[in-house]
């Protein structure tokens, strides 16, 4: 009878990554940078917010940025940015703002925004606005 492992190599790598993340301790300067990244994201949702751009802007490695941001905020950067953008969009749409202006305000084209918003909320931007007016 052949023995099969209960876990895969990917499981081992994921576990090692989780272990590494738990062991990393950020110093005061690095934590200030991570807080600055978060504030920058919150205040600039209309800009391109990629990990390489943020890492360069705040002079922190992409690895430390990804690990530190997740440790600080509880979610990966891309997920945090998406959530912030969609929550801002919901707020603007609820106040009756036009969809095209909302899309621009959070850094999307109209088509891209509509797809992402519907995926996030289950409603088109127009349906959401009409429901929450």
User: Is this model's pTM higher than 0.75 or not?
Assistant: yes
* Inter-residue contact 113 to 99 (CB < 8 Å): yes
In a domain, 89, yes or no: yes
Domain that holds residue 31: 9-74
Q: Which residues of 30-60 are buried (b: 16+ CB within 10 A; e: fewer)?
A: beebbeebbeebeeebeeebebeebbeeeeb
Same-domain status, 58 and 105 = no
Q: What is the pLDDT of residue 26?
A: 78
The three-point CA angle 67-70-71 to 5° equals: 85
Of the candidates 34, 49, 74, which is a domain's last residue? 74
Number of domains in the chain: 2
Q: How many CB atoms lie within 10 A of CB 20?
A: 11
In a domain, 51, yes or no: yes
Query: Using CA atoms, how far apart are residues 60 and 110, in angstroms rounded to an integer?
Result: 33
Here the CATH number for the domain that contains residue 120 is 1.10.10.60
In a domain, 3, yes or no: no
Average pLDDT of every residue of the chain: 86
**pLDDT (tens digit per residue) in 64-121:** 999 999 999 999 999 999 999 999 999 999 999 999 999 999 999 999 999 999 999 9
Same-domain status, 28 and 55 = yes
Same-domain status, 88 and 32 = no
Nearest to 72 by CA among 1, 24, 127, 124: 24
Of the candidates 55, 74, 93, which is a domain's last residue? 74
**pLDDT (tens digit per residue) in 34-75:** 999 999 999 999 999 999 999 999 999 999 999 999 999 999
Same-domain status, 34 and 62 = yes
């Amino acid at each position: 009878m052949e023995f099969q492992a209960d876990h895969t190599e990917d499981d081992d790598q994921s576990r090692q990554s989780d272990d590494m993340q738990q062991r990393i301790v950020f110093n005061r300067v690095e934590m200030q940078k991570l807080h600055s990244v978060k504030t920058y994201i919150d205040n600039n949702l209309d800009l391109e917010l990629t990990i390489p751009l943020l890492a360069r802007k705040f002079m922190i490695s992409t690895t430390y940025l990804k690990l530190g941001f997740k440790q600080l905020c509880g979610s990966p950067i891309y997920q945090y940015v998406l959530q912030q953008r969609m929550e801002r969009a919901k707020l603007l749409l609820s106040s009756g703002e036009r969809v095209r202006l909302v899309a621009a305000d959070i850094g999307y084209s109209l088509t891209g925004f509509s797809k992402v918003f519907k995926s996030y909320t289950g409603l088109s931007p127009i349906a959401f606005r009409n429901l929450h007016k």
